[in-house]
Amino acid sequence: MKQFDIALHSFEDVQDFVEVATVQPFRILVGNDRARVNAKSFMGMFSLDFSEPVHVRADCTDEECSRFKQAAARFLV
Higher-confidence position of 66 and 33: 66
CB atoms under 10 Å from CB of 67, counted, come to 12
In whole angstroms, what is the distance from residue 26 CA to residue 48 CA?
A: 21
pTM for the complete prediction? 0.93
Which CATH number goes with the domain that contains 46?
Answer: 3.30.1340.10
**Tens-digit pLDDT profile for residues 42-64:** 999 999 999 999 999 999 999 99
**Overall domain count for the chain:** 1
- The secondary structure of the chain, three-state, reads CEEEEECCCCHHHHHHHHHHHHCCCCCEEEECCCCEEECCCHHHHCCCCCCCCEEEEECCCHHHHHHHHHHCHHHEC
Residue 39's identity, in one-letter code, is A
Instruction: Name the residue range of residue 45's domain.
Output: 2-75
